[in-house]
């Protein structure tokens, strides 16, 4: 096996995140089986569905690059969805909700960051526990029933188009570009890379490790809040089950995009295409009549193979 792994061809092939290959394969399958589906309108609808996931992934890749993880997204989405749809803020404007959501995300992200970096609590546990608390809290407030309707303006905004593309998709691409700039052009971006490579080395080189981790988590919380707004706009009703599988899917898409704990070869666009893969994967599988069970198996195998693909290359 090691001869294969060390060969030039494998090294060259494995430089590209698995998400690119998978996306090409999926598009070819779509092209062969349903050529009429390959137009901007139909694809736009599919892609629009995964925008919340895509935004959540932007935060996830940030924390995964500093060897942490954020599983609290499900709770954040549920909480913000509840705030908007339950009518506890009668007559509130769109701006109020956006500020409320961002503030919520910021506080939750900051809490995660401080717990992980200062208190040195396991990130899996603290974010998972927070998610459990938030989910329990929201379900208690709403007695387990869907709370109500979302103000119309959310759905209207969600359905607009910008330059021929659905505006959520444009928004997602812009946000991804911003994140790419943040990671490649700023000092913070370099700190993230340094911390991911080796925490002791970064510490001894004067990188503020704790502060970098806290900031990464805070940004991840913010991204979760934005994802919550988009998700709420997309379903346009209150729900007590919305977005619960998104954190796990975001980890999967990030890995598929070539960002594994501490290593960020895939950059920001690798995970971006990882999310697109999930969008088309479900389309292709539905097309071939694969049921939910088959989708779960495929999802699991894809994550596993993507991770093996990276693991084989990593020097022990």
Instruction: Check residue 224 for interaction with other proteins (CB under 8 A).
Output: no
Instruction: Looking at residues 258 to 297 of the shown chain, list those that interact with other proteins (rule: CB under 8 A).
Output: 260-261, 291-297
Residues with Cβ within 8 Å of 149's Cβ and at least 6 positions away in sequence, in order, are: 85, 236, 237, 238
Residue with tokens 């598009």, as numbered in its chain? 27
How far is the C-alpha of 238 from the C-alpha of 132, rounded, in Å?
19
For residue 221, give every residue at least 6 positions away whose Cβ sits within 8 Å of its Cβ, in sequence order, or none: 59, 70, 72, 76, 105, 106, 107, 108, 109, 110, 111, 112, 113
Residue whose CB is less far from other proteins, 236 or 313: 313
Q: How far is CA 279 from CA 236, 257, 275, in A?
A: 20, 14, 6
Q: Which residue, among 54, 207, 5, 238, has the nearest Cα to 117 in the 3D structure? A: 207
Count of residues binding other proteins (CB under 8 A)? 60
Under the criterion CB under 8 A, does residue 308 sit at the interface with other proteins? yes
Distance in Å, CB of 59 to other proteins, minimum? 15
Q: Which of 23, 55, 57, 66 binds other proteins (CB under 8 A)?
A: 66
For other proteins, the binding residue among 77, 83, 213, 226 (CB under 8 A) is 213
CB of 210 to other proteins, least distance (A): 7
Burial class (CB in 10 A: 0-12, 13-18, 19+), 141: middle
**Region binding other proteins by CB under 8 A among candidate stretches 35-43, 126-134, 148-156, 226-234:** 126-134
Residues sharing a CB contact under 8 Å with residue 160, sequence separation 6 or more, in sequence order: 166, 167
Least gap, CB of 76 to other proteins (angstroms): 14
Check if the beta carbon of residue 57 is closer than 8 Å to that of residue 275. Answer: yes
Stretch that binds other proteins, among 52-60, 92-100, 246-254, 266-274 (CB under 8 A): 246-254
Which residues ranging from 3 to 42 are in contact with other proteins (CB under 8 A)?
A: none
Q: Which residues bind other proteins (CB under 8 A)?
A: 66-69, 115-117, 119-126, 128-133, 135-137, 139-140, 143-144, 199-200, 209-210, 213, 248, 251-252, 255, 260-261, 291-304, 307-308, 310-312, 314, 316
């Amino acid at each position: 096996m090691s001869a294969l792994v060390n060969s030039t061809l494998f090294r060259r092939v494995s430089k590209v995140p698995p998400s690119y290959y998978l996306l090409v394969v999926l598009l070819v399958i779509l092209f062969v089986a349903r050529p009429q589906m390959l137009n901007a309108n139909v694809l736009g609808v599919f892609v629009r569905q995964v925008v919340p996931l895509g935004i959540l992934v932007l935060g996830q890749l940030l924390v995964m690059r500093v060897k942490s993880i954020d599983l609290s997204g499900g709770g954040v989405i549920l909480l913000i969805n509840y705030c908007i749809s339950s009518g506890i803020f009668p007559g509130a404007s769109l701006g109020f909700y956006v500020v409320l959501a961002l503030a919520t995300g910021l506080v939750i992200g900051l809490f995660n960051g401080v717990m992980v970096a200062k208190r040195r609590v396991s990130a899996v546990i603290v974010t998972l526990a927070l998610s459990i608390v938030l989910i329990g809290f929201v379900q208690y407030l709403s007695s387990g029933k869907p709370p109500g309707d979302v103000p119309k303006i959310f759905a209207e905004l969600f359905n607009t188009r910008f330059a021929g593309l659905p505006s959520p998709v444009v928004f997602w691409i812009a946000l991804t570009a911003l994140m790419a700039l943040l990671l490649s052009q700023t000092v913070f971006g370099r700190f993230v890379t340094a911390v991911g490579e080796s925490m002791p080395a970064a510490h001894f080189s004067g990188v503020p490790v704790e502060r970098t981790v806290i900031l990464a988590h805070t940004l991840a919380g913010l991204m979760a809040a934005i994802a919550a707004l988009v998700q709420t706009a997309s379903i346009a009703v209150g729900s007590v089950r919305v977005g619960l599988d998104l954190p796990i899917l975001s980890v999967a898409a990030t890995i598929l995009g070539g960002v594994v704990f501490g290593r960020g070869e895939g950059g920001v666009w690798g995970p971006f295409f990882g999310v697109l893969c999930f969008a088309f994967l479900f389309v292709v599988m539905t097309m071939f009549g694969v049921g939910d069970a088959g989708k779960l198996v495929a999802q699991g195998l894809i994550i596993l193979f993507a991770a093996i693909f990276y693991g084989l290359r990593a020097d022990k």
